[in-house]
Structure 1
């Protein structure tokens, strides 16, 4: 059966991850093979051949069924998207039931819940900006809201986090903003009531945000500095309720049940005859399910519980099953209940973690002796940390070098001290003093360790950035080759091949003469990267958000790491937040970077020019020295390589365009980044005719409130037969040129990619 299950799963994953419906040729080929197998099965009289043909036919049929299941999921999801698209970009009133604890921020409240229409049930995530002070939404309530919905999309850039895929995996159908609302029903969920009681404890600890994170999966109260420490020390996984937490709860309840259940039998003979194992396993399974409920049945938590449940059920029915089969069944069950789980990074991390655990159990003998449980936990944490390092590096952009050591120290504290005491604290919430005391005791060990962890997190030597990984990995591979128990000539040959391979694959980019211009997708803002010889020049740094975070952290830094670029020179066109927001972040990460323009020591002024990696740059505007604060004082910069020119005009409007025309500035360009994101106040006909670009690029956010680009600008571009590329329709734009010929592409454009990347 498991072979057929593997074939079924393979067919499903092939379609879902490939991102398109199966081709008719593929289906026809499988049908022909199945028909041949069935005919041979019918005509064969050899028992041995019959068994093989039966197996082949079953595998082919399972593969086809898996592909059909994947195709049905894709068709269903596309249908859901198309059904909701008609509600975008317009205000509407709807009845909304809040299903998650609201997330409170300084300037908005984020709500997640369900909108039930006559035909479908949609999951929405809505932001309520500047909500009235008396508004206190709670999970379980039903509201009548006036909202404006938009597609569940996000930035698309190389090295970046694909928010739209995350939303799809979470089954969130639409995002939106709330204009007004009124409560219809005031029912409140149990999770909400527990959350409010936890908040009423008014803990003085700086780590108070850990309490709702570990008990309810609510991480909104963790401070930015806490997140920094957790990430840089490799402990962030402890705050996300996952398989580790559920397994600890299940194991703790199982051990407690095995100890307490015999006490219900007075006679020793009754205790010996009673089989406590099934009941203990059921209690363990039920308790871990309750914990998953407290965590809100979040996608990752439910996925982890399903895997734990499969293992416990195998124990319950007492079947001897190999580790690989258990993993296969657990993964299939997850995909059955969460069809889009394979699109999420967390799914593969979970699969990898479970596979590593099963491999460890298979290859290594159990630990015996004193502190057996603690030593097994240490071994598990060390093995998981090292086994998942490649995935962590690929998806999170760096490695905490001391993560194995910090995990060996902190994981047992959280597992055997903090988490159990927090559960007792939650059970005693009706007794304010006792609950508060238990919570403080639970956090005490972490508070003692936190100063040392903070100092460790701030030490640059222990954080391995993705841009530095190649040289470190080369050193490690050379050391491994040198220590192998083989002949000296073999070790020498392996070291030579390793070093030669590294330079063959990594060095050519440092001698690549081609100029590549990347206009990044930073939503409503601007950021451009010029790349040549493994170096980078930056123009604008996108937006910084009032509630924390910036596009420099989310997009620009991951992009530079993914391309292995070292920035040398940077410009900020003017002081608007959507152009200079990431200045401080980038300045902190690259202190050697030379800056020109707004907020720097060298504001832009006409006449400034220079040469960067053979590319000539020249500032054309403004004419007078200032602070580049107004739109019409934006830096207008021309970048030229031989016969190819790009013009970057910032947010200038028609007044500044007229000044440039009057001064006979050299505006002719091959590529033009449209001024002010395509606003109607810019891109006059005469300006476009003078620049005469072959390509116009629009950097803007989809569904932006400014209605950019304006229809009149697009009409002028069409009349002048200027090709247009838009970051909001396809993401990052990359232009390649040798100084004479050029090509442009959008590597994440939906039309050339999977169904889950399509635009709405």
Structure 2
């Protein structure tokens, strides 16, 4: 490595950019954009720009604009470098290269609202995109078209439509993702299945795709008689067109740079060095966009290639590992901390899965390309060929399901800290350099041998020594893996403290509790303004906290904003989080939605428990006890079902007390006050998202909380929390936390001391 100047340059640039961007936050795209500085969310704006890409959705189209100008204060203001998305209905006349003018409301991308959630803002910042506009009026100012990009777009859409027509929705969208990199219409269950099975990488355009297409084209041209130069140049040109058609992603960009270097070496008759090629690609991408240093696609793509260069050769020299397993193990060793960091789990048997999947990928891509070509030439033959792809995809799904069902098929580890990851890589790096030092010393000893007999004996001993050293390296790697998994798992299952997190689920409720003994509970989980809240907010958070199984889910009542995420989780337990028990209020207050939820739980092998007023869940920790008591709806409750009949939970842990109220209001609130069950609490979860009809003066007088928590959606249509409620809360100068403004709210206590953290403005250290 140290004899390669490009490698040293790449390392230096990476370190400099890590310090500048990661530590000092020096990056133009991380600074507030012109639009963010001059416009408010949901404000009307008039904007024009050049269409450089188009994304057709089911009910609308998305146009990517560059060279932006904004109409502000009676003049057009040009904005350098920034880009925007314009969402439009019924606009098939707009083409790539057109200059369009759009009027509508401006929206800015959200940071992650809970730990473990997707950071939409950072995703678009990497592409220099800082806002989106939902346009009500649009016009084409200049119909000049970028013919090359427009034709490539039309080809892409034609291929997509033919694949869907030939293979059907599920298999068709899978092939669209594999061949065109378009995953927006891919079934979420299939996407999750591939990810949990450890083969999610096949759905991204990677070096495997680019190498197969580029090298395949080169070899075909060579076989028909073209020279090195002509074959290489045509191959590069074809690959560039393919990259333009599918969109430039970090993995495809890395692959095409390395392919160009390889073809250049072939044409010039020079040796091709994989590590030097990787270093050049790293320098080009990081200088182009430093934020890619913190991008999962960049880290996985470069990490996999680096594993094949450095680690795979060491494993292949040991006799204790069959060579067929070496590449997969090498990649697993290199990418393990990143897999845990970005996905919070380990697909344990992915090495075995990929032994079958990766060789079949070449067949899948090759047959898919041939099938598409025949679809254009003679549809019946192309359709017949593509059925073989459908069979392979069916096999992939069955294989993933089998591997997940195998004992320890997936282990939810949680998200490791940066320091744990750095320690892992430092140990791995030290082990590698020790091996290389031994190797160099052995080479020197070898050349000191004088006679042929001594040389043969030296080589024999050296062969044995290399095998032994490789075994030591393999053992160290396994020890590192076990230690990493153990440390991360233990860090999330450390007992002794009580942890409570009020999640930002939008307009709804979702509260996670980890008891001092490590029992995992969830109180409600739903939203009316976040689509698939279970998949996108609840599950990622829970897995990032190392939760592979929920012991209890308590449901306050049957409104959608409290249960729809829970229903998603119940139905997806096979691929996601297991749920042992669903705790519901007494049957007398059940509505149709609670009945349906109970049925869903039973169908998915989750136990249903009824909890009535006075019943308790109790755990003991040393000299302290944790108690969760149901105090509402009161016994012989006589009010209406729904909000008023919410299950109310009283939590006590040593000197700490908290009350969970669901959407309690009206008659239910009155009867609870009269029952005498209420007492003084440190923290009160405000009922019904801060509605003016809940939490009256009398209720606050009895409970006398120092801190109140409100769960409400950003700019929700109900206006929660209402001003009347806020005025009541502010009378006693209580500390108010609101997910609307602060995202997830995390509480940690040992029973005496209390610490509350909110998800502040996200920095780079929180992004990766």
Partner secondary structure for residue 78 of structure 2: coil
* Distance verdict in 2 for CA 1:221–1:356, change over 3 Å: same
Find the partner of 1:9 among 14, 17, 41. 14
User: What are the Cα deviations for residues 190-224 of structure 1, in whole angstroms up to 9, with x where unaligned?
Assistant: 34422442315621455122332233212234334
Give yes or no for contact 1:569–1:593 (8 Å, CA) kept in 2.
Answer: yes
CA RMSD in angstroms comes to 4.4
TM-score (normalised: structure 1): 0.74
1:336 correspondence with 2:293: no
For the residues of structure 2 that align with 1:642 and 1:660, how far apart are their CA atoms?
24
Residue in 1 that maps onto 2:57 = 104
In the aligned structure 1, how far is the partner of 2:389 from the partner of 2:64?
32
Deviation at 1:94, TM superposition (A): 4.2
- Cα 1:81–1:460 change in 2 (3 A) is farther
Match of 2:83 among 116, 119, 123: 123
Structure 2 equivalent of residue 309 of structure 1? 260
Compared CA separation, residues 500 and 411, structure 1 to 2 (3 A): closer
Match of 1:575 in 2: 558
2:166 is aligned to 203
State the match for 2:647 in structure 1: 635
Which ranges of structure 2 fall in alignment gaps of 5 or more residues?
A: 70-76, 417-466, 470-474, 586-593, 599-607
Distance of aligned partners of 1:693 and 1:293 in 2 relative to their CA distance in 1, 3 Å threshold: same
Q: How does 1:387-406 map to 2 (within 5 A)?
A: 387-406=334-353
Alpha-carbon distance in 1 for matches of 2:712, 2:662: 12
Query: How many residue pairs were aligned?
Result: 658
Distance across 2 between alignment mates of 1:679 and 1:93: 36
Aligned to 1:738: 750
2:105 corresponds in structure 1 to: 148
Mapping for residues 603-614 of structure 1, pairs under 5 Å: 606-613=613-620, 614=625
Look up the match of 1:37: none
CA distance in 1, matches of 2:102, 2:641: 39
* Contact persistence 1:307–1:331 (CA under 8 A): no
Deviations 1:514-565 (A, max 9, x none): 2121212333332112212222221112348897x44356434652563457
Cα shift at 1:292? 0.9
User: 2:538: which partner in 1?
Assistant: 555
Q: Match for 1:433 among 375, 379, 392?
A: 379
Q: Which runs of 5+ in 1 are unaligned?
A: 22-70, 263-275, 367-374, 471-483, 487-491
Q: 1:78 corresponds to which residue?
A: 31
1:46 aligned residue = none
The residue correspondences of 1:609-688 to structure 2 (distance < 5 A) are 609-613=616-620, 614-623=625-634, 630-653=642-665, 656-688=668-700
In 2, Cα distance between the equivalents of 1:495 and 1:440?
41
2:496 aligned to 493, 501, 513, which one? 513
- Structure 2 CA distance, aligned partners of 1:111 and 1:229? 28
CA distance in 2, matches of 1:87, 1:318: 58
SS, match of residue 701 in structure 1 = coil
Q: 1:730 to 1:544 in 2, by over 3 A?
A: closer
Structure 1 position 590 matched with structure 2 position 578: yes
Aligned to 1:359: 310
Are residues 1:453 and 2:406 paired?
no
Paired with 1:663 and 1:253, the residues of 2 have a C-alpha distance of 79
- Deviation sequence 1:117-150 (CA, Å, 0-9, x none): 232254345667xx6xx67687637766554333
**For 1:114, which of 65, 70, 77 is the aligned residue?**
65
Change (3 A) 1:451 1:363: closer
Give the distance between the partners of 1:538 and 1:153, measured in 2 at CA.
25
1:49-88 matches, cutoff 5 A: 71=26, 73-74=27-28, 77-80=30-33, 83-84=36-37, 86-88=39-41
Indicate the residue corresponding to 2:114 in structure 1.
157
Q: CA deviation at 1:451?
A: 6.7
Is the partner of 1:388 in helix, strand or coil?
helix
1:381 is displaced (CA, Å) by: 5.5
Q: Which residue of 2 aligns with 1:289?
A: 240
* Aligned ranges 1:167-206 → 2 under 5 Å: 167-175=124-132, 178=134, 180-182=136-138, 184=140, 189-198=150-159, 199-200=161-162, 202-205=165-168, 206=170
TM-score, length-scaled by structure 2: 0.73
- Contact 2:415 2:545 (C-alpha < 8 Å) held by counterparts: no
Distance 1:211-1:498 versus aligned 2 partners, 3 A rule: closer
The offset of 1:349, in angstroms, is: 0.8
1: CA distance, partners of 2:173 / 2:251? 20
Change (3 A) 1:257 1:364: farther
| 1:247 matches 2:224 | no
Alpha carbons 1:241, 1:301 under 8 Å: kept: yes
SS at match of 2:500: strand
Structure 2 CA distance for aligned equivalents of residues 300 and 643 of structure 1:
53
Point out the more displaced range, 389-398 or 460-469.
Answer: 460-469
1:477 aligns to what?
none
- SS of the equivalent of 1:749 reads coil
Q: Residues 502 and 511 of structure 2 are in contact (CA less than 8 Å); yes or no, is this contact kept in structure 1?
A: yes
Change (3 A) 1:299 1:729: farther
Distance 1:80 1:527, change over 3 A: same
Corresponding residue of 2:455: none
Kept in 1, the 8 Å contact 2:254–2:285? The answer is: yes
- Counterpart contact for 1:544–1:582, Cα < 8 Å: no
Alignment partner, residue 533 of structure 1: 517
Determine helix, strand or coil for the equivalent of 1:17: helix
